[in-house]
Amino acid sequence: MNKRILSAILFFILAAVASSAYQMPSKGEVTAVALNVRTGPSTSHTILTSIEQGTIVQITAISGNWYKVNVGSHTGVYVHAAYIKVTESVEIDDPKADKEATKRFLPTLQNVDPSTR
């Protein structure tokens, strides 16, 4: 009986380790009244435009607390992730992908830099 329990536990552990799929945000909605769209993932990058609350963005990548997005005619631009409510995600099964970035894709409001708005 102990062998069966140990075998079952081992099976579940191996199954969990073998699975490398995780959720990556793919679409989101702006929650700020106005959100700056920048050329890069920091406040030191140039502001290209500002987008309004409720605007839908396509999320293409994550860089720290920033999302690389496509919005309107702007592609490959950045917005702070704290002001995006993720509405859709896709399952990623890529062992070479940066899994740590996806674990941090929903930053807490206490870590938000107000100057990114």
Structural domain boundaries enclosing 64: 22-116
Q: Is the pLDDT of residue 10 over 60?
A: yes
- Mean pLDDT across the chain: 80
77 inside domain: yes
11 inside domain: no
12 inside domain: no
pLDDT value of position 108: 45
1 inside domain: no
Q: What is the CATH number of the domain that holds 55?
A: 2.30.30.40
48 inside domain: yes
Tokens 């938000």 map to which residue?
A: 112
Rounded distance between C-alpha atoms, residue 8 and residue 100, angstroms: 29
Average pLDDT over residues 1-9: 69
Phi, psi of 107 (to 5 degrees): -65, 155
Return the higher-pLDDT residue of 12 and 85. 85
pLDDT value of position 70: 96
> Which tokens sit at 64?
């720290």
5 inside domain: no
For residue 110, what pLDDT band results from cuts at 50, 70 and 90? Answer: very low
Q: What is the pLDDT of residues 12-35, one digit of tens each?
A: 665 555 555 678 899 999 999 999
Q: Where are the alpha helices (DSSP H) in the chain?
A: 2-18, 99-103
32 inside domain: yes
Give the chain's domain count. 1
